[in-house]
Structure 1
Amino acid sequence: MKLIINGAEKEMPDQANTVSLLLQHLDIAHKKVVIERNGNILKSGQHGEELVQDGDRLEIVHFVGGG
């Protein structure tokens, strides 16, 4: 399936059909992230239930610490 992730079109496997599975595929499931899908911010506790579909636009922001 084709997704727009942070402004770039990416081809993702059909098996990555939930937000949680997509984060695992992108190897960022262990990070604290905020996700916007098609203009709506998703609650982190529902990533396993939120379906991802062909053509979805996702913005994924993860937090970086520093000092």
Structure 2
Amino acid sequence: MDFFAYYLYKGYSLYAESEDGLFHYDRASKRWYPVEPGWEMADNDDMKEISEERAARFF
């Protein structure tokens, strides 16, 4: 999957955006999961965009 933006929620939960929507990275299973429909990232001040390099530290 090709992600074009990465975000941290409250400094520890990793999210990524692709043409298919928003995904959450689960550290335990090391997999990406789609975010539930209706969850609005734009309304959340705790969500900060980060670089791809910083996001790669989570994998």
TM-score, structure 2 length as denominator?
0.27
Structure having greater relative contact order (Cα 8 Å, sep ≥ 6): 1
Q: Which has the higher strand share?
A: 2
TM-score, structure 1 length as denominator?
0.26
